[in-house]
Amino acid sequence: MSKTMRIKFVKNEDMIYISHLDVQRLLQRAFRRADVELSFSKGFNPHPKMSYGNALALGVESYGEYVDIEIEDDINCQELMDRINRQLPDGMQFEKCIELEGGERALAANIVFGDYEFDIPNVNKFDEKTVLENLEKLKSSESIITTRRNKKKRIVEVDIRPLIKTIDTIKVDDEKISISSILATGSKQNLNTNVFVPKLLEYLDIEIDPLDVDIKRNNLYFEIQGELVSPL
């Protein structure tokens, strides 16, 4: 009898530079090496029954990634994590696990927000008051317009303000400015950090390469009756 495990894992250190597809391949290899039998779909091209939360952008570290994995082995969560963690490289580890009972919300279809932190070099040596004033301009904006290419490869204007749920300062010192923000991170609405960071820098009046901003994703959330709820 198969069972489905929901697992929370971290992805940091050198692992931030591998893609979402590489993560899928890595986990499949880890399960094989750990001798844990995965369940496979039926049909002409069977594949492991593994479903993920919203894909993490390359170069972003995370302490709240999720995957649902259906297995054939009758083992508990602790044994599963122990066996798989011995096969995973530094920078990627299973942290929490539960066995799903059935009827739980699917990850991909129901995750709607992500909790992010942005560490920005304080090249202008702004004090906290200046940062708060600049950030207030973003928070009070009714619209924040950016451009992107649509599916027809045409450049269109997009208002990203509705995709920013919260944004606040964590810390400001001479070295860096730390900002926290909850952003739309789902299959229906998603604000890519590659789009958000340039706009954040623009409002903060900081001229640096967006790639110099360190990004961390702390968690992903369902929204249930207006409340943000972790999948695990």
* Biggest CA pair distance of the chain: 61
pLDDT band of 45, cuts 50, 70, 90: confident
Exposure on the CB side of residue 6, measured as CA atoms within 13 A: 17
- All structural domains of the chain, each given as residue ranges with its CATH number in brackets, are 3-109 (3.30.70.580), 111-229 (3.30.70)
**Alpha-carbon gap, residue 141 to 128, rounded angstroms:** 20
Q: Hey, is 52 helix, strand or coil? A: strand
pLDDT, one tens digit per residue, over 105-119 is 999 899 999 999 999
| Mean pLDDT for all residues in the chain | 94
Range of weakest confidence among 81-85, 103-107, 176-180, 199-203: 103-107
Q: Where are the alpha helices (DSSP H) in the chain?
A: 20-33, 77-85, 107-110, 128-140, 193-204
pLDDT, one tens digit per residue, over 47-86 is 899 999 988 999 999 999 999 999 999 899 999 999 999 9
pLDDT number for residue 102: 84
Task: Report percent pLDDT > 90 for the chain.
Answer: 84
The answer to whether residue 96 scores a pLDDT higher than 90 is yes
Q: Hey, is 61 helix, strand or coil? A: strand
pTM for the complete prediction? 0.91
**Alpha-carbon gap, residue 98 to 90, rounded angstroms:** 23
The answer to whether residue 44 scores a pLDDT higher than 90 is no
